[in-house]
Chains A and B, each alone.
Chain A
C-alpha cells in the first residue's frame, strides 16, 4: 500500500511538475500585480467588410469570425448590445482579440491587444473551460489534472508523513495549524457580518 501511494505521489509530481509550478508562478504574478507592473497592451485596430449569410446566433458569428479573420484563441465572451451591435472576445496567452460587428452586419472592427509578459502569464493562469478548439480542450484536461494533482499531493503527502515518521508531534502541529486555520477562516467568512 505504502509503495503504491508513494509511486502515485512521485509519478504524479514528476509528470505534472511543470504545469503545477506554472500555475503557482503565474498565480504569484497575478496576486502581486503591483510588484511586477501591468503595462498597457499594444493595440492594433482594423476594420473588415463582412459577407456573412449564416445563422444570426452569437455562436455561429463567433466561429465565422474566428475562421475568416484568423482570430485564434478561446472564445471568452459573446454579447449583443441593445442597438444591435455584437461583441466577441477571443483570448489566448499573450493576445486578446475583440471583434465588434456593426448593427447593420456590414463591417467588423477587430482590435488586437498584444500583452506584456505579465499579462501573458495572467492569461495562462486564467485559461480554463471545455470549449474552443482541440488545443483548449487539451489545456482544460491539463488544468483538471493539475487541480486533481494538488488534492492527490495533499492527501498522499499526509499518508506518507504518517507512515515515514515515528515522532509525529511537529507534523500534528503543522496539520492542526493548517486545517484549523483554513476551517476557522471559512467559518469566519460564513458567519461574520
Chain B
C-alpha cells in the first residue's frame, strides 16, 4: 500500500522533472531572442550602434501611375506599396511643394529610404541606404508591429516576441521553484531572492515617488 506521503513525493518529483524539461526547452527556443534582446538593450544604454551608419547607398528610379490622392501620407503609402518596398513613412519628413511633388523618408530595421515623387512625370526616385546587421538587431528589439509592405509571414516575429515574453515569465517562476525545491543552497536562494527583491522593488518605488 502506497502512503499518501509517498504519492505526494512521487507527484512532486514528476512535476519537478516536467518543469525542468519545459524550463530547459522553452529557454532553448527563446535563447536567440534573449541574446538579441541583451545586446540591443546594451546598445540603448551605451549607443555604440550609430544611427547614421551607411553600408552603401543606391539610387534608382521608376515611373508609376499616380492616383489623384490629396493626402500626402496616403500617397506616400501608395508609392511604397507600388514599388514593393516595406517600412514606415516618417510623418514629420513628408513635404510637398506647390506642384504637388512629394518628398519623404521611410524607415525599417536595416534600411532607410529617401523618396522623391515628381507629379508631372510620375517619376519616383528612391535613395536606399543599407544600415547593416547591428541596425537590424536593434530594430528587432521588441518589434511588435507588422512592418507595412512586408509579407504576412513576417508577422511571425511578433509571435516570437509574444512567446518569449511568456517564456521568460514562466522561466522566472519555474527557475525559483526549481532552485528552492532543492535542499542544498535553499537558504542562500531565499536570502538572495528576498534581499535582491526588496532592494529592487524599493529602488523602483523610490524612483517613482521621489526620483
The total of chain B residues at the interface (CB under 8 A) is 69
A174 adjacent to B28 (CB under 8 Å): yes
Q: How far is the CA of A32 from the CA of B36 in the complex (A)?
A: 20
B133 adjacent to A190 (CB under 8 Å): yes
Looking across the interface, which residue of chain B has its beta carbon closest to that of A129? B45
7 closest A-B pairs (Cβ-Cβ)? A31-B144, A150-B38, A18-B200, A147-B41, A151-B38, A182-B32, A174-B28
The interface residues of chain B lying within 8 Å CB-to-CB of A25 are 169
Quick one: which of B36, B111, B165, B207 contacts A182, CB cutoff 8 A?
B36
The secondary-structure label for the interface of chain A is helix
B32 adjacent to A190 (CB under 8 Å): no
Binding site for A on B (CB under 8 A): 20, 24-39, 41-42, 44-47, 83-86, 108-111, 130, 132-133, 136-137, 139-140, 142, 144, 150, 154, 156-157, 160-161, 165, 168-169, 171-172, 175-176, 179, 185, 189, 192-193, 196-197, 200-201, 203-204, 206-208, 210-211
The segment from A7-15, A36-44, A54-62, A99-107 that touches chain B is A7-15
Q: In the complex, how many angstroms separate the beta carbon of A183 from the nearest chain B beta carbon?
A: 8
For chain A residues 140-193, which have a beta carbon within 8 Å of chain B?
Answer: 140, 142-144, 146-151, 153-155, 157-158, 160-161, 164-165, 170-171, 174-175, 177-179, 181-183, 185-186, 188-190, 192-193
Q: How far is the CA of A119 from the CA of B2 in the complex (A)?
A: 55
Q: Is A116 an interface residue (CB 8 A)?
A: no
Q: Is A130 an interface residue (CB 8 A)?
A: yes
A147 adjacent to B42 (CB under 8 Å): yes
Q: Is A78 an interface residue (CB 8 A)?
A: no
Looking across the interface, which residue of chain B has its beta carbon closest to that of A93? B208
A185 adjacent to B140 (CB under 8 Å): yes
Q: How far is the CA of A174 from the CA of B23 in the complex (A)?
A: 12
Looking across the interface, which residue of chain B has its beta carbon closest to that of A161? B24
The interface residues of chain A lying within 8 Å CB-to-CB of B137 are 186
Quick one: which of B38, B85, B160 contacts A147, CB cutoff 8 A?
B38
The interface residues of chain A lying within 8 Å CB-to-CB of B44 are 128-129, 143
Q: How far is the CA of A92 from the CA of B206 in the complex (A)?
A: 11
Q: Given contacts A10-B185, A21-B169, A150-B34, is CB(A157)–CB(B204) below 8 Å? A: no
